[in-house]
Structures are given as C-alpha cells and as structure tokens.
Amino acid sequence: MIARRGEGRVALLFLLPAGFGFVLFYAWPALQTFYLSFTDYSLLATPNWVGAQNYADAMSDRKFWNALLVTGEYVLINISVQTVVALLIAVLMHRLTKSSVVRGALLLPYLIANVVVALVWYTMLDAQLGIVNAMLTWVGIDPVAFFGETSTAIPTIALVNVWRHMGYTALLIFAGLQAIPTSVYEAAAIDGASEARVFRTITMPLLRPVLAMVLVLTVIGSFQIFDTVAVTTKGGPVDATRVIYFYIYEKAFQQFDFGYAAALCVVLFLILVGVALAQLKLLRAGSSDLD
C-alpha cells in the first residue's frame, strides 16, 4: 500500500466538529477538575491552592481504598458475566435467527432508565415482599436478602446491571459478527465443522477488534457504577457497596469537599487510562485479522 503525505490536513477537517465538542465539553472541564484537585475548593467558596495535600490524604484514606476494592469486585463480576452472556446471545442470534423481535426484546432493558431498573429490581428482590423471594419460597428455598447482606449486595448490583446491558452489549457484538463475511461460514459448513469449532477458529479471531472495543467500553463504564447504588443500598450495609464513584459523589456534593473529590477523580482517571491501555495492547484493538 502506498503511504500518502498530506492527509493530516484532511484529517483535521474531518475531526473539526468532533474535536470542537471534545475540547469544549470534555477536555476543558477535565482540565478544570485537574486544577481543582490541587485546591480546597468547596463549591461555594473560592478555591485555595493546597498543593498535593488532597492526594496525600487519599493515600491514607481507608474508605477510599475500600471503595476501590469494592469497585474492583463489582467490575470483575459485572464484566465477566456480561461478556460471556452477551457473546452467547450474539452468537445464538447470529447462528439461529435474524428475528428483530428477539433482538428488540433483548434490547428492551436498555430502554429503561438506570434508576428505574434499579428500583424495579430492588422491589422484586426484597426479602419479605419481593416477587423473586416469593417464587423461591414456592419451590421451598428460604428467602434471601439480596441487596441487604454485605456478602450478596455487590454481586446483586453487578447482576442487575448485567440484566440491563446484556442485550445492548450483545447488539454491539452482533454488529461485529455481521461484518464477518458469510463465505467463511459457508466454507466451514462444507467442511462439516462443528459449531464449537466454527466459534473457536472463525468467529473469535475475526471478532477480535470489535470484542476489544466492547471490552474497553464496558470495563470503563463498569468502573463508573453509580445510579444503582444511589437508589438502592446507598453504600451500605456498613460500607459493602460504597463504590468509588458513589464515594466521590458523597465527598463532592454532600460533604462539599470538591477539591478532595477532584483528586480522587484524577486517581480514578489514571487507573482507567492504565486499564484501557493494557486492554488495547493485549487485544491489539487497532488491527484486524481480516487484512
């Protein structure tokens, strides 16, 4: 392939509108947050420069480390279950049906706002009045306080969010499956390859760039779990569900310690950049096996 010079100018033109939005609505606020992380800003008074004090405080903040740990547990459960289920749905849809009814049904949860999804599951899973526990009782299982026990609260929240996002994630993967030339599958069918073998040798390798994107997106999104916690457990019981984003929110908007919250935000940002870079490297997201 011939490398051309001078495409930088065209690229600039194509990037202009998106770049404008990026600078105005993402980069500039982010820089402000970065600056404020070195201050004692309380939202309602002018900020004073305090150097790296907020960062030093964060390092010795037990609740901050607990929040990171809890978030890590959430991300691990949420991502592993969601990716497996979404991949399963996408492959099943791809190999079995082109029905838009099935696809529409699976996408339904994504049409419902996060907060309402959380509320619906919260009532459905109640230990005494929830329908899920009523069903468990019908088949002879003792009720479980899914959201109330420190041990089950985080897995429950993780699975509720899997429920909301599995159809959405499946649709992204499905779009990637559609991009795989059908001729490859026809050839495999003539060879009499089993479904498992087709999946391993054809689907997975060709799906890699899309799967990489989906993983990067969902992992980053997963770290920002907030709404579900805010309307259900509110960080409790004890500190079992005080995830990092909820902790940052409490600091910034309930305790008015915005400077400190900004510092936590920067730390979280650095962690996410690290995670995303590692993912992109591992998954070689920039290249496709199709070339």
Among 56, 59, 84, 134, binds other proteins (CB under 8 A): 134
CA distance 88 to 81: 11
Instruction: Please state, in angstroms and as integers, the Cα–Cα distance from residue 52 to each residue in 38, 57, 183, 267, following that order.
Output: 6, 9, 59, 12
* Near other proteins by CB under 8 A: residue from 20, 52, 197, 278: 20
Candidates 68, 89, 154, 243: give the one binding other proteins (CB under 8 A).
89
Is 59 an interacting residue with respect to other proteins (CB under 8 A)?
Answer: no
- Residues 93-132 binding other proteins (CB under 8 A) are 93, 95-98, 100-117, 119-131
The CA-atom distances, in angstroms, between 83 and each of 45, 110, 128, 152, 250 are: 45, 16, 32, 21, 30
Site for other proteins in 166-195 (CB under 8 A): 166-168, 171-172, 175-176, 178-179, 181-182, 194-195
Question: Near other proteins by CB under 8 A, which window of 49-57, 73-81, 185-193, 262-270?
Answer: 262-270
Q: Which of 71, 78, 83, 233 binds other proteins (CB under 8 A)?
A: 233
Q: Pick the binder of other proteins from 70, 80, 145, 203 (CB under 8 A).
A: 145
**Cα separation values, 70 from 65, 90, 150, 155, 245, Å:** 9, 30, 11, 10, 11
Using CB under 8 A as the binding rule, whether residue 255 contacts other proteins is answered as yes
- Residue 237, preceding bond cis, omega within 30 degrees? yes
- Rounded CA-CA distance 277/11 in Å is 24
Q: Of the ranges 52-60, 71-79, 184-192, 254-262, which one interacts with other proteins (CB under 8 A)? A: 254-262
